[in-house]
Amino acid sequence: MSSQLPPTGQELGLEESMLSAPSIGPKRILSIEGGGVRGVFSLRILLRMEELLRRKHGKDSMVLADHFHLISGTSVGAIIGTYLSYGWPVGEMLKLFKESLPIIFARAQWWKLHGAAYRRGPLREMLQKHFVEPNGGQALFGTRRLKTWLLVVLRNMSTGAAWPLLNHPEGKFAKLQEDGSSNLKIPLWQVVRASTAAPWFFPPERVTVAAGQTMEFVDGGITPHNNPSVISYLMATLPCFPLQWKKGVNNIQVVSVGTGRIRAKLGAFERGRLGRLRFLDHVPAALIESTSLAQDLTMRSWGRCIQGGVLDSELGHLSGKEAVGSDFLYCRYNTEWTTDEIDRACAVSGCKFALSSVKLAPWLESEGEKYADKHVRIEHFP
């Protein structure tokens, strides 16, 4: 990569208000969770949000990047979030997503598996096609074509660390390092592809971070930040990060969009025959689900929750009159599917309820539309 210094905020074309005093005006964060094909459910919620905001402001061409200052995403949430930050309308994103799913989740030939069930090529080609500069060159993570601050979560296999990447030019690792590296100089498509490289499903992404230095990255869901709401808020407010936004319900709003919750549980018959391999197969889903719920609980403890379902039978909602926090305004859109609902979805779709089950997309879209019509309200976006 070139050793040229990364651009300043002004060179990136970013608004001065986004770079200067964070106390000027309320700041809005949109956080989008990982979940494979279930991203269709999230997109229907986002579509409803965009429709309501367009109606409120009387702008038919308004996109979510016109409303939010920071968009964050992990795995499929990274795909959706980056396209939204790039200025895509949700309707176009939903159409692209549904058209691309059968291609992205097409099984690789056994001699081309490379330790993964699906090929890396189709998603890579889609991202490379869209994330380009006006001159046709590759858009980098520091591109001015992103209309918001963008946070994408990866896991660095080479160092064993979570990598939440923020496209702010004043970030510690956005600045030019002694080895010539800068996060802003990584191709944008590669950042997103790395965040979606779920083990077993897709091969890791090899990224050249500096001359002669290559690292391997996998899905950001293999970190505590598959639900990136907490890390988004921390990176927006902690003094070690460049945004340093002022806390308070009148200063920051966080909208967190999930992909639907499924309890990773086993019946008595399965538990009685739970060998080591079956147990290992059960653990990742259980950890991701539990961590996502813990992130939601943390956000409701810190912020004033104005929308959110039941956390559990003891905690309740911690929203509305039960809200306890005051650091920011918080809105959580997500649902929990019952065993009966999952059985019906599988019967209608003729497939398992898996992250890669493309045939579930129509059911997921229908569920997302019903959920959005019932729960997404314009008063959630003051």
Active centre residues (catalytic): 75, 219
Q: Give me the residue label for tokens 């890669």.
A: 356
Number of continuous H segments (helices) and E segments (strands) in the chain = 11, 9
Q: What angle do CA 46, 87, 300 make, to 5 degrees?
A: 40
CB count, 10 Å around CB of 10? 10
**How many other CB atoms are there within 10 angstroms of residue 223's CB atom?**
23
Single out the residue of 153, 96, 150 nearest to residue 127, CA to CA.
96
| CA-to-CA separations, 342 to 36, 141, 268, in angstroms, rounded | 16, 38, 19
- In the block, tokens 């493309």 appear at 358
* SS3 at position 150: strand
Contact 310, 318 (CB under 8 A): no
Rounded Cα gap, residues 70 and 183, in angstroms: 17
**Residue 27 structure tokens:** 């700041």
C-alpha to C-alpha distance for 119 and 114, rounded to whole angstroms: 9
